[in-house]
A and B are shown apart, each in its own frame.
Chain A
Amino acid sequence: MINEILNNAGRFVLLILIQGLILNDINLWQGMAIPYLYILFLLMLPLDTPRWLELILGLVCGLAMDMFTDTLGIHASACVLLAYIRPQYLRAIAPRDDYEFGQRPTIGDLGLVWYLKYASVLILAHHLWLFYVEVYSFKGFFTTLLRAVLSSAFTLLLVVLSQYLVFARRNTRYV
């Protein structure tokens, strides 16, 4: 339990720093695609996280990011949305005999196909919300849509890669 909390706290700090200091500077096609890898923190929370706690963690995670980008509330709002829909979506895509005890939402534990289904929808939801709230209007609807979709693809790529590169070794212990 303590281990789990420390792991998540460490992941939180690491991801926020990577995002705030490195990834926010990435600029492909005049800002059409920006990866927001930091939401991996929310995606990797344990399956049995209490929902109220998950919402609070979403808020904290978003506010931390807002401090780096000077956009008070925008990331927070998108992260709270992500934290709200994640448990419901997890239930919807559960394997036939539900999740096993101790399973974690990673490629190592639940397989690549399941993970793509899991991550792509949640990332897209977060990004759509984020980009439309950032622009704060439906002017240029399709440009914003394109930005959200391209950025989602970019984020998904990094999320999946990070699973193989960084978190893979730790996962095999549980398989």
Chain B
Amino acid sequence: MRNFVRFLARYHIFLFFVVLQVLCFRLIIANNSFQRASFVNSSNRIIGTLFTWKSQLTEYIELQRVNDELSAENIELRNRLIDNFINVNEHFVMINDTLRERKFRYKTAQVVNSSINKQLNYLTIDKGRDDGLEPEMGVINKRGLVGVVKDVSKHFSTVIPIINLKYTASAELERTGNFGLLRWDGVDYRYAYLHDVPHHADVNLGDTVVTRGSSAIYPRGVPIGTVSEISAPEGSNFHKIQVLLNNDFNKLRYLYVVDNLLKKEQRELEEKTRSDDQ
């Protein structure tokens, strides 16, 4: 016993160091789980407010480009207005459309903070629980796929973008329908990789890559990027496809958060099927 006390007295600093490191690594590992209930991140009130001030300051520099983009989008939407169309046949006009049910609903949000230079990049956006956001909602913008909501606080949310090592999404080639897993390799924020597309699939440079919509997070067919390089690693049955991302993650500002109204139904059904198997 006395030896043990002496051991403690001698190495107490080292032991304290080990305890702290274990604590840190527990945090890191807990951080890996997707639906972590966290309060120490940038959706935190204080940090979120700081980032909002910062983005208000830097907003100026971006105004011109953002205005151009918004007005281009306005024109596109204006072209779709009902006033632009005439009724072909009065008999077919329905007031209450029962043929379609709304599946996706969009909410706008602005980026208040983002990074592109790390392996685990995140975005912080200025909408939170109060605006109806929940974890695992998809995030897109005019140009295409951005990422998925990770944590939500009262007024802010954090988003895992494509350029985060933890991000994966199911994606397909628009022309042929072959699908694979989209992942970032941590090197260049302009490129991601599409894995698991078999050798026999017909892939051309410049093919468009879109979301597959299988995980009930994004609608099907949201553009992601274009094929910029195709290689065949030796001993593998799959292509390694480099995708030039449509989005420049260095310049994100306005985003749309996608709420899939039928997500719960799809998930529950899939869960039931899976548990019946076992």
Contact = CB atoms under 8 A, between A and B. Distances in A.
Size range of the chain A interface in the assembly: 35 or more
A55 B20 contact: yes
Interface in B152-172: 158, 165
Contacts of B117: 24-27, 30-31, 34
B27 A72 contact: yes
Contacts, number: 100
Please report whether the interface of chain A is mostly helix, strand, loop or mixed according to DSSP: helix
A35 B17 CA distance: 25
B156 to A, nearest CB: 11
B181 interface: no
Nearest to A24: B115
Interface stretch (B38-46, B94-102, B131-139, B254-262): B38-46
A71 B31 contact: yes
Chain B CB within 10 A, most for which of A17, A25, A52, A133? A25
Interface string A65-88: 011111111101100110010000
A31 B187 CA distance: 8
Contacts of B188: 30
Given A55-B17, A68-B47, A80-B20, A73 B25 contact: yes
Nearest to B36: A72
A135 B166 CA distance: 10
Given A34-B117, A52-B13, A80 B189 contact: no
B50 interface: yes
Nearest to B158: A70
A134 interface: yes
B192 to A, nearest CB: 14
A-B pairs, top 3 by smallest CB distance, nearest first, are A73-B27, A31-B117, A77-B24
Interface of A: 17, 20-21, 24-27, 30-31, 34, 51-52, 55, 58-59, 62-63, 66-74, 76-77, 80-81, 84, 133-136, 140, 143
